[in-house]
Amino acid sequence: MSERADVKRQLILDKATEVFAAKGYRSVTMKDIVEASGISRGGLYIYYDSTEEIFLDVLKSIDAWEDEANKNMVAKLKEAGSAELLLWFLKEQKKEILKGKNNLSIAMYEYAFACRQDGKNSGAKHKFETAALVLEKILARGNENGEFDCEDPKAVASNMMYAIEGMKVMAGTVGISEKKVDKELVYMMRQFMEVED
């Protein structure tokens, strides 16, 4: 029953995602996931051999989801207004920032840090670069159709993503208010478009 197994794996992934969001990467034990997912110790080992394997699968499923979202956004570049797309993009980023102490950023950084020597791919780089690229395309398109005035979309996108990354991390650790996030986003938008307060 491959389907049955998939359902189980999905259940494990869902619960594990919560655990990683709540505890980070390193301090998560198989026991934590066993308890969160409500299956037995041995049962978990049928599907996954280590927390790392589970974490990588969590990342993969998130990646899949994000790639899909990014693809959709790029597809809409021609039809939709750039400002509209930008707002949607930033809203997503904001949502992720504000998940704050319950998002996966810290876990991802812990993991990336833990295996920085092993040449393992943590996905963090890909995630960052993909988002930057999407943002760059939105800006470039907005330039073309006159919605934005942005000399160097690549540079602006890169800078914005670093700042957003910084906010994610701060949010995940010491916290950040929604108002503060809005302020930052508006500040950044003003560099290439008019924003009312």
Partner DNA sequence: AATGAATGAGCCTTCATTCAT
Partner DNA sequence: TATGAATGAAGGCTCATTCAT
**Which one of a second copy, DNA, none is in contact with 169 (Cβ closer than 5 to 8 A by kind)?**
a second copy
Check binding of 130 to a second copy (CB under 8 A).
Answer: no
**Which one of DNA, a second copy, none is in contact with 165 (Cβ closer than 5 to 8 A by kind)?**
a second copy
Q: What is the DSSP string of 98-154?
A: HTGGGSSHHHHHHHHHHTTTTT---SHHHHHHHHHHHHHHHHHHHHHTTS---S-HH
Our CA angle for 40, 42, 43, nearest 5°, is 60
As measured in angstroms, the least distance from the Cβ of 123 to a second copy is 9
Our CA angle for 19, 63, 41, nearest 5°, is 35
Check binding of 69 to a second copy (CB under 8 A).
Answer: no
Among the listed residues 63, 47, 56, the one whose alpha carbon sits nearest the alpha carbon of residue 20: 56
Show the binding pattern over residues 136-175: x = contacts a second copy (CB under 8 A), - = does not: ----------------x--xx-xx-xxxxxxx-xx-xxxx
As measured in angstroms, the least distance from the Cβ of 27 to DNA is 8
User: Which listed residue (17, 37, 51, 122) binds a second copy by CB under 8 A?
Assistant: 122
**Which one of a second copy, DNA, none is in contact with 173 (Cβ closer than 5 to 8 A by kind)?**
a second copy
